[in-house]
Structure 1
Amino acid sequence: MISSIRHASYPLYALLITAISLLTPTTSLAADIPINLTDTRQLVLKALPDPCVIRVADTYYAYGTTDPGQGFQAYKSQNLTDWQSLGFVFKKTESSWGQKHYWAPCVVQKNNKFYLFYSTFGPINGTWGRAGHRIGVAISESGPQGPFIEQKIPLFGVGKSIIDAEVFIDNDGSAYLYYVLDISENKRSEIFVVKLSDDLLSIADQWDQDDTTSNEPVWCAEPIGKWEGKQWNEGPNVFRVDKWYIMMYSANGFFTPDYSVGYAIAPSPRGPWFKSPSNPIIKKDPSSAPNPIVGTGHSDVVQDPTGQYYIFYHAHSQDRGVKRRDLYAQKLYIQPDKDLILKLTLTPQPAPHNQSTSTPPIKD
């Protein structure tokens, strides 16, 4: 079974951290395999933008925007630092709907299968030759290493280009698809969510049995903070801690040095989402001059068997630009916070004396 924070839930008292570890260690197949990542930013893999990292038993798998014109390659590791190439896990065919711009894969497990969600560029029916980005899904019945076979694309449509698929599966098995209404056909990039059917191959008719509201896309986030600029919120990554839902997201253009990562917290998968006043938590590093690491964004979070979190994100050196975005990672810490329920940091922090348990105020 997959061990990914997309499925994880932990009691709030377990979030009290020490200088060594976030959570009390638990027994696991991978518990005796040392992880060499630290609090310091570390280069993990070259040329792996838009990362998705999952753990299955004692092995980690990393996917990304490796070959936009062909499909997706992947890697595997047992310690998050030494990686073996798996080659293509999904590759387009002549009959594939999308022929270019295969971006931002997301892999989850459900129904004893592995599902690969992605966006690609193809023809839009009934539009007199117009093309655009849509989200699709491919399935592997042989494991996270693939091969993934295209099942349905477009998975759904909203009349405009959509990218950056992120699927979160809650504790009760309900699946939610987060996506970005792309700036290419919208005044700015914004994040939305819809609920998926049990087989993950269509949009559910309604949110749940007690809520007969039509399953229309629900708005989650848009760029409002000063550090976010005015055009981009993208690259969502959602997971659960206790009763709270955390969304990592990126702001500013991916091609700019200021591309950075923030987070928001919500009481349910559809929000409302409250952005942290501590944002951004991942940003460019001027101290790495004369050739600083910049454009730090599109993150994904994974947890090792001891409960320690790690955040992965792509970045590039300022002199090279976005021609090659490499994969970086470091430890991530989560603890109770008096201002926003939970606080995410890159170094261990002392727990607050007066912890709030109410819904946090909206933060710009």
Structure 2
Amino acid sequence: MRKLTRFNSLLALCLTTCALVFWAGDLHADTRTLTWKNPIIDKYLADPCVYFHNGFYYMMATGKAPDGRGIQIYKSPDLQEWTFVRGAVKPGGPKNWNWKHFWAPEVIEIDDKFYLYYTASPEDSPNNRGNRVGVAVANDIEGPYTDLGVVIPHGSIDGHPFRDRDGQMYMYYTIEQYNGKGLTAGNIYMEKMTSPTSVDGNPVKIFDQYGWQEGPIVQNIDGTYVMTFSEGAWTDDTYKVRYATAPSPLGPYKEGENIVLQSNEVVKGPGHHFLFKDEGGNDWIAYHGWDTDYTARYPRIDPIVIGKERVYVNGPSFTTQRYEIRP
């Protein structure tokens, strides 16, 4: 009887071990190793916004497309190989708000439609003073997008629509300060959105810690609102990504302890970023950065850790990187 009991115990142990091996194998099968090297596309594509939808990654970026439309759209199955899709928005006439200077795209899905927010300006726009944040819409993320007009009418750039967990939406953006001779500062403002195409008309300044801050992105991390943004001059190596935190989307925002991204020996002026999740739900940052000769702003990606008290990126990377995507 003792031998039989021992045999049963060994059999149970074997079955348990086998089950664990199969379980571990299943986990391994679900893990995909991503290999990439920045820049992910070897051409001038600034202000990248990456969005995962229906098994593909889509990137919207600043730059006129070959078809003459503003904002370029690219598509990738794996964040490595990218294919040009189309230009997103057809420019309006010279007096229209969106005649030129298309930049800073950001896409969001609302009620099965895709809303593309972007900055543009009319023909008569000295010193970029005519910049506005507007929006276009499409039934498919690949477009084409139809312009719906201006959302923020007053000297605004870099619109970011943030949808909180309670469904309330907010528009964060930068207002450019002008002293009669040129642009002197950029401060981050916020307004509640009343629809995908309108705000409540009550702008609130939420951050002006530095001379120039732009490109805000907000996330709700367990009740702490983490805002990442770019600071410095986009034309040189002072441009960088910082963060601030607040107990409410309205603020007050407190400056974070560390710089998220800054220039290194290969990548200069990394910034104007977007935060996105891969197919496994892991956090990434998409951003642009100059080469050392300042010939172009190239699109780049790196994993990011976003916490209540610290935001960290091991970058900007410029060598071959590997990352295990786990669901």
TM-score (norm 2): 0.78
Q: In 1, Cα distance between the equivalents of 2:178 and 2:117?
A: 20
Q: Structure 2 residue aligned with 1:331, among 293, 298, 303?
A: 303
Alignment partner, residue 343 of structure 1 = 310
Q: Deviations for 1:32-91, whole angstroms, at most 9, x for unmatched residues?
A: 5836257xx732123210111111232211111112984111111121111111121222
The amino acid of 2:167's aligned partner reads G
Q: In 1, Cα distance between the equivalents of 2:97 and 2:143?
A: 19
Q: Is residue 51 of structure 1 aligned with residue 48 of structure 2?
A: yes
Q: In 2, Cα distance between the equivalents of 1:326 and 1:156?
A: 28
Superposition deviation, residue 217 in structure 1: 0.8
The amino acid of 2:103's aligned partner reads W
Alignment partner, residue 139 of structure 1 = 137
Q: Is the 8 A contact 1:60 1:77 kept in 2?
A: yes
- The structure having more radius of gyration, on CA atoms, is 2
Superposition deviation, residue 123 in structure 1: 6.7
- RMSD across aligned positions (CA): 2.5
Higher percent of residues as helix: 2
Alignment partner, residue 362 of structure 1 = none
Q: Deviations for 1:232-266, whole angstroms, at most 9, x for unmatched residues?
A: 10111122222122211011110011211011112
Superposition deviation, residue 131 in structure 1: 6.0
Alignment partner, residue 203 of structure 2 = 217
After superposition, the Cα gap between the structure-2 partners of 1:299 and 1:135, relative to the gap in structure 1 and judged at 3 Å, is same
Q: In 1, Cα distance between the equivalents of 2:207 and 2:49?
A: 21
Q: In 2, Cα distance between the equivalents of 1:139 and 1:43?
A: 29
Q: Structure 2 residue aligned with 1:162, among 145, 156, 164?
A: 156
After superposition, the Cα gap between the structure-2 partners of 1:235 and 1:156, relative to the gap in structure 1 and judged at 3 Å, is closer
Q: For 1:71-86, list aligned pairs within 5 A.
A: 71-86=70-85
Q: Structure 1 residue aligned with 2:233, among 239, 253, 266?
A: 253
After superposition, the Cα gap between the structure-2 partners of 1:35 and 1:64, relative to the gap in structure 1 and judged at 3 Å, is farther
Secondary structure at the counterpart of residue 262 of structure 1: strand
After superposition, the Cα gap between the structure-2 partners of 1:267 and 1:305, relative to the gap in structure 1 and judged at 3 Å, is farther
After superposition, the Cα gap between the structure-2 partners of 1:184 and 1:91, relative to the gap in structure 1 and judged at 3 Å, is farther
Q: In 1, Cα distance between the equivalents of 2:311 and 2:141?
A: 29
In structure 2, list runs of 5 or more residues that go unmatched: 1-28, 315-327
After superposition, the Cα gap between the structure-2 partners of 1:182 and 1:70, relative to the gap in structure 1 and judged at 3 Å, is farther
Superposition deviation, residue 307 in structure 1: 2.8
Q: In 1, Cα distance between the equivalents of 2:35 and 2:248?
A: 31
Q: Is the 8 A contact 2:69 2:87 kept in 1?
A: no
Secondary structure at the counterpart of residue 32 of structure 2: coil
Q: Structure 1 residue aligned with 2:275, among 295, 301, 319?
A: 301
Q: Is the 8 A contact 1:33 1:78 kept in 2?
A: no
Q: In 1, Cα distance between the equivalents of 2:83 and 2:32?
A: 17
Alignment partner, residue 260 of structure 2 = 281
Q: For 1:13-162, list aligned pairs within 5 A.
A: 32=30, 34=32, 36=34, 42-45=38-41, 46-67=43-64, 70-94=69-93, 96-122=96-122, 132-141=130-139, 143-153=140-150, 155-158=151-154, 161-162=155-156
Q: Is the 8 A contact 1:181 1:189 kept in 2?
A: yes
The amino acid of 1:132's aligned partner reads G
Q: Is the 8 A contact 2:256 2:309 kept in 1?
A: no
Superposition deviation, residue 318 in structure 1: 2.0
Q: In 2, Cα distance between the equivalents of 1:180 and 1:60?
A: 27
Identity fraction in percent? 30
In structure 1, list runs of 5 or more residues that go unmatched: 1-30, 205-214, 225-230, 287-291, 336-340, 348-364
Higher percent of residues as strand: 2
